[in-house]
Structure 1
Amino acid sequence: MAPPISRGTAAWKYFGDFRAALLAGQVLLLQVAHPVVAAGVRDHSDYTEDPWTRLMQTGASLSVYIYGGPAGARYEASRLRELHRKFAGVDASGRRYSALNPEAYAWVHATLVKVPVDAQRFFGRGLSGPELDEYYAQMCDVGRMLGVRERDLPPDWAAFERYYDAMVAGFESNGTIETLLETIRTVKKPGWIPGFAWKYLQRWQHTAQMFVIRGALPAGFRDRLGLQWTARDAVRFARFCRVMRVFGVVPAPVRTVHMRWIGQLNVWLRAHPKLHARLVKGS
């Protein structure tokens, strides 16, 4: 049985590490590689119009599960399931879909389980065997809270990796992936950045994001998407990872402080619904 998520446990130490944000593009791309998720995002998401707000809302929601306490996590899980009940339609093959399709729902959770582990593998020292066991057990508890079926939660980390690799091996490119890659290239500026500065920053953010996405994606899937990756790119990515490992000297409470604050703030706002509604409306 997993210990509760609390200060010093594996999920608490690693889930909110700021370096995991570097893999945001990669994890979103892997999520929409699933055909049901792709159809739902295509039909019901406004991320192409305002990706920055959508990214912040996603981060705020994720923070509650790990750093918002059990009551906050239960509330957020219930809210998300209720929100997704209305997301349904017809996918690219003409079949009806629901955002609560059990396999697709489990896959989205799986990508969120994997990304902190990948962040430590690329940019940190990696999780030890006991840490992986504890982390995975804690994230299975989160999955159950979210409503992921027990049979869709592999029993241990080794089984989870086999499941994850098998899912990725079955994915191909789709229209939603193409839209996502185009959105990264043409993304509108955040409101607080001056227009003259964004003219230069937009190209930089596209180059940087695509470099990390290409470096972090599973090699076979990257090839199927037609994303070029050379030996020189591999050397540059390894060098980038070494630089990011320098931040490993920063204590875990400091590396995760932004996610803890966001999670606790969200729980406080849920307890003050009028203020929360006013802030959401204002955004």
Structure 2
Amino acid sequence: MSTQLADLPARPLGPQGVIWYAAADVRALVAVIRLLVHQVAHPMVGAGVGEHSVYKTDPWGRLLRTTNSVVSSVYGGVDAAVEGQRLLRMHAQIKGVDAAGRRYHALDPDAYAWVHATAYEGTRLFLLEAGPGLTDAQDEQLFTEWRRLGLLIGVRDSALPRTRAEFWELWDRTLPQLENNPVVQDLLWSAPTAPPYVPQKLVDLASAPVLRRQREVMAVTLDPALRARIGLPEPTDRVRRRVQRTMRLMRLGNGLPERVRHNPLTWRTAARTAADPRLGPEPVRYP
């Protein structure tokens, strides 16, 4: 590899870390729309996605590209910084004026940092509710890895909280700014466009229970004010019990090897990075 560790803005993520365990876990799909809702409810992010993304016309292609980007960033070792530069170039062109007359830019430091912030909050929730849990040391390790990953993908150092306490201050400060918008509603209620040669009615039928369960997870786990703002009802006791059962079922997979839990697109990249002697394992092994 031609890239040198000394040239990178942060040390790439290595094997046996917290994010390495969680980032490609197929079980996390149960909460993926929750993560996306937090992102696109940000006024700048929602405007950029609504006017520039192909999430409606090419949802499967976008999903594949997003998955490949996560794999490169988390499991790519020194190549993570290359992916970060690609992301910066791609987002540089996403700008404009939203329906309320507000200017937006995908590389606005606070908006770009917010998208990354949702990854720490979402990963933490997944590991606490459906994964092996987090000790305080593991949570600190997760935060440290998350911060390094942010630097690798081009988030400004000045926009990244330096401590977990600062992170939650940022989170609580940003939540009241989040808005309902058409992209949020699409994520909550709309099935993706069917791929070629697949009937749309079939995709609608298959998507309905998945979307319903995603909304239930959000109703139980979202900040109550944000939940009400985007039009989700307060969860009933029955819904809460159903979400708890879902989380218990997901925890059955905690002992499975990465080869089983992880998206297959991860395997080759992760194996190559794990063999790179320059990286080594993370200081706190998870779980």
The alignment's TM-score, normalised by the length of structure 2, stands at 0.82
Distance 1:187 1:10 in 2: 31
Pair 1:133–1:216, CA change in 2 (3 A)? same
- Mapped to 2, the partners of 1:257 and 1:58 lie a distance apart of 13
1:13 pairs with 2:27: no
Query: How many correspondences in the alignment?
Result: 263
In the TM superposition, 1:169-248 aligns within 5 A as 169-181=176-188, 184-191=189-196, 193=198, 197-198=202-203, 200-228=205-233, 229-248=235-254
Give the drift of 1:164.
Answer: 1.5
What is the alpha-carbon distance in structure 2 between the residues aligned to residue 35 and residue 4 of structure 1? Answer: 31
Separation (CA, whole Å) in 1 of partners of 2:204 and 2:97 = 38
Report the residue type matching 1:161 in the other structure. Answer: W
Report the alpha carbon displacement of residue 260 of structure 1 after superposing the two structures with TM: 2.4
Q: Retained in 1: the 8 A contact 2:12–2:77?
A: no
Q: For structure 1, which segment, 159-168 or 25-34, has the greater mean C-alpha deviation from structure 2 after superposition?
A: 159-168
Greater share of residues in helix: 1
Q: Is the 8 A contact 2:12 2:149 kept in 1?
A: no
- Structure 1 window deviating more from structure 2 (199-208 vs 153-162): it is 199-208
Question: AA paired with 1:33?
Answer: A
Distance 1:85 1:3 in 2: 25
2:121 pairs with 1:114: yes
Question: 1:3·1:138 contact (CA, 8 Å) conserved in 2?
Answer: no
Does residue 30 of structure 2 align to residue 28 of structure 1? no
Gaps of at least 5 residues in structure 1 are 268-283
The Cα shift of 1:159 comes to: 2.3
Residue 23 to residue 79, structure 1, CA distance change in 2 (3 Å)? same
> 1:73 is matched with which residue?
80
Which amino acid is the alignment partner of residue 179 of structure 1?
D
8 A Cα contact 2:42 2:177, kept in partner: no
Q: Distance in 1 between matches of 2:141 and 2:68?
A: 24
1:38 and 2:46 matched? yes
User: How many angstroms apart in 1 are the aligned matches of 2:192 and 2:257?
Assistant: 34
Please say if residues 212 and 237 of structure 1, whose CA atoms lie closer than 8 Å, have aligned partners that are also in contact: yes
CA distance in 1, matches of 2:36, 2:228: 17
CA offset at residue 69 of structure 1? 1.2
SS in structure 2 at match of 1:42? helix
What is the CA-CA distance between 1:132 and the residue it aligns to?
Answer: 1.4
**8 Å contact from structure 1 (residues 171, 221) kept in 2:** yes
Cα offset, 1:147, TM superposition: 2.1
**Cα pair 2:191 2:204 within 8 Å, conserved:** no
Show CA shifts across 1:43-63 (max 9, x none). 101101222221221111011
Equivalent position SS for 1:249: coil
Structure 1 counterpart SS, 2:100? coil
Contact 1:63 1:262 in 2 (8 A): no
Which segments of 5 or more consecutive residues in structure 2 lack a partner in the other structure?
1-9, 274-287
Which amino acid counterpart does residue 62 of structure 1 have in structure 2? V
**Distance in 2 of aligned mates of 1:87 and 1:172:** 20
Given that 1:189 and 1:202 are in contact with CA atoms closer than 8 Å, whether structure 2 keeps it comes out as: no
> 3-state DSSP class of the match of 1:148?
coil
206-215 or 24-33, which deviates more: 206-215
If the length of structure 1 is used for normalisation, what is the TM-score?
A: 0.83
Match of 1:275 in 2: none
Q: Is the 8 A contact 2:34 2:218 kept in 1?
A: yes
d(CA) in 2 for partners of 1:217 and 1:13? 24
How far apart in 2 are the matches of 1:30 and 1:195?
A: 27
Q: Does 1:134 align with 2:141?
A: yes
CA distance, structure 2, for counterparts of residue 44 and residue 262 of structure 1: 31
Contact 1:34–1:104 (CA under 8 A) maintained in structure 2: yes
Matched with 1:159 is: 166
**SS of equivalent to 2:96:** strand
Alignment of 1:63 onto 2:71: yes
| Identical amino acids, percent of aligned pairs | 34
The counterpart of 2:256, out of the listed 250, 256, 271, is 250
Q: Secondary structure at the match of 2:104?
A: strand
